[in-house]
Amino acid sequence: MLSERVCRLLTAYVDGELSPAEEQAVQRLLQESAEARTLYEQLRRDADLLRRLPPRRPPRDFPQQVLRTITDRKLHPAKHSGLWRSGPTIPAWVGLGTAAAVLLVVGLSSYFYFASSRPEDKSLSAVGLGHKTASSPEAPPNSTPPPFRTATAAASSQPSVPTPLEKLPRAATAKEVHTSKATPPTSPSAPSAKPGPPEPSILTGEIGPEDFPIPKVETGTILSLPLRDLDQEKTRQRLQDKLDSNSAFRLELFCLDHVHALEHLQRVLGSRGLHLLVDPSLKNQRVKTNLLVYAENVKPQAWASALEQLGSDDRKAEARKRSEGQFGKLVILPMTEADQKKLVPVLGFDPTHFPPPRPNTPLGVDIHQPLAQETAGQITKSLAGQGTSRSAPGKPTHPSPEHLALVL
């Protein structure tokens, strides 16, 4: 037995009144239920029969027949009985009065809240009570007045003139009150001490820009360019000019993954004789962090060539596979004193202060003896086979030093 909802869906499906989703649901129902298919075929046949029926037109006097029937039956239009009945109307002044009462309550509550939470200004209250005499019950006879009470009492005989805010005496601190108890009070006739220079105050405008100097940054000394653009002649020339303009620089090279970026950098610099000494804890560290590469005595041409090769390799890697490139912007700026101070705790020494060079003369040379005597002794030891060994012909005495860089 099909439900009423299914019958309605089938009827609407025959009339073509369903949405695409509902039509798919009815088609699935027809495939699964034989009873639904039977009802659908019956509805479709009935719809075809209804469409084939000849249309019937009403006679020409049909309106007169309707009017005659209404007159004979004495029909009248029914009165509209509203389902909703309006209640008693509320005057407009009731809403206005309620709104005014709410605003009044909120205003009074805010006033009393802020008045109770406002801290008392002890300095202003002391100035207002300074003209009272010693017979006042509020001031004990043997108590020592604060240092600003005497100055106010002496000035009370003069006409009252409004005093600017910045000239009001400030409240005595705990240190000043302790000092006033240890020293005897001064008499009103004694000359007052000469006031010192006023303290700097932001409210009175006595602090200027010279009290807080702002460091100036010269934007012309900073060079920012994409690393992959070093294949262009103009960009390479800008980089070379920047590296030739100073002897110490700070290079900021942004990358996606510091582990892969360090591998690329180590391969490019190693091919140019600059080997990186990497902290072992950084090789397996997967958390994103900043790496510091510190190198000395590297020519600007070597840095320019290495950066150009690094940009070329990164551009080729990005062309092979998207997101394979590691590097982005390259920022170059001169080394400042602040940068050198940041290097001290990282490197463990100050790179600006080098130890004194070791002497080239052999150890144990007595400078007080004649040079001829020392030379004769060295020649004798050399002939006896006790001197320093000589290098083979065509080979340097000392191997060429290897350039190293620290990665921290």
Q: DSSP per residue over 59-128, as a string? A: -TTHHHHHHHHHHHHT--PPPP--S----PPPPHHHHHHHHHHHHHHHHHHHHHHHHHHSPP-HHHHHHH
Q: Of the candidates 14, 35, 51, which is a domain's last residue? A: 51
- Rounded to the nearest integer, the mean pLDDT of the chain is 71
**Does residue 301 contact residue 214 with C-beta atoms inside 8 Å?**
no
- Evaluate whether residue 152 is within a structural domain: no
Say which residues have a Cβ less than 8 Å from residue 264's Cβ, sequence separation at least 6.
310, 313, 314, 326, 327
Question: What sign has the CA pseudo-torsion 361, 367, 369, 372?
Answer: positive
| Weakest mean pLDDT among 108-122, 159-173, 267-281 | 159-173
By residue range, what is the domain housing residue 244?
Answer: 219-347
**Does residue 20 contact residue 26 with C-beta atoms inside 8 Å?**
no
β-sheet bridge partners, residue 275? 404
Tens of pLDDT along 19-63? 889 889 888 888 888 898 899 899 989 988 888 888 888 888 888
pTM score, two decimals? 0.38
Q: Of the candidates 325, 347, 369, which is a domain's last residue? A: 347
Kindly state the tokens that stand for 229.
């653009």
**What angle, 0 to 180 degrees and rounded to 10, lies between the N-to-C axes of helices 20-32 and 34-52?**
120
Residue bearing the bigger pLDDT, 395 or 130? 395
Q: Of the candidates 327, 347, 367, which is a domain's last residue? A: 347
Report the distance separating Cα 136 and Cα 139, nearest Å.
6
Q: Confidence band (pLDDT; 50, 70, 90) for 105? A: very high
Tens of pLDDT along 306-333? 888 888 888 888 888 877 788 888 888 8
Q: Confidence band (pLDDT; 50, 70, 90) for 390? A: low
- The answer, yes or no, to whether residue 12 has pLDDT greater than 80, is yes
**Closest C-alpha among 368, 341, 251, 365 to residue 300:** 251
Question: What three-state secondary structure class fits 344?
Answer: helix
What's the structural domain count of the chain?
2
- The answer, yes or no, to whether residue 405 has pLDDT greater than 80, is no
Burial 354-369 (b: 16+ CB within 10 A, else e): eeeeeeeeeeeeeeee
- Evaluate whether residue 310 is within a structural domain: yes
Tens of pLDDT along 63-104? 898 899 999 988 888 765 554 455 567 888 888 899 999 999
- Evaluate whether residue 287 is within a structural domain: yes
pLDDT value at residue 341: 83
pLDDT value at residue 180: 53
- The backbone torsions φ and ψ at residue 25, rounded to the nearest 5 degrees and listed phi first, read -65, -40
Tens of pLDDT along 332-372? 888 888 888 888 887 777 777 655 556 555 555 556 666 55
Report the distance separating Cα 174 and Cα 140, nearest Å.
20
Tens of pLDDT along 211-238? 545 555 455 578 888 888 888 888 888 8
- Evaluate whether residue 237 is within a structural domain: yes
- Evaluate whether residue 309 is within a structural domain: yes
- Evaluate whether residue 401 is within a structural domain: no
- Evaluate whether residue 228 is within a structural domain: yes
- The answer, yes or no, to whether residue 205 has pLDDT greater than 50, is no
- Evaluate whether residue 383 is within a structural domain: no
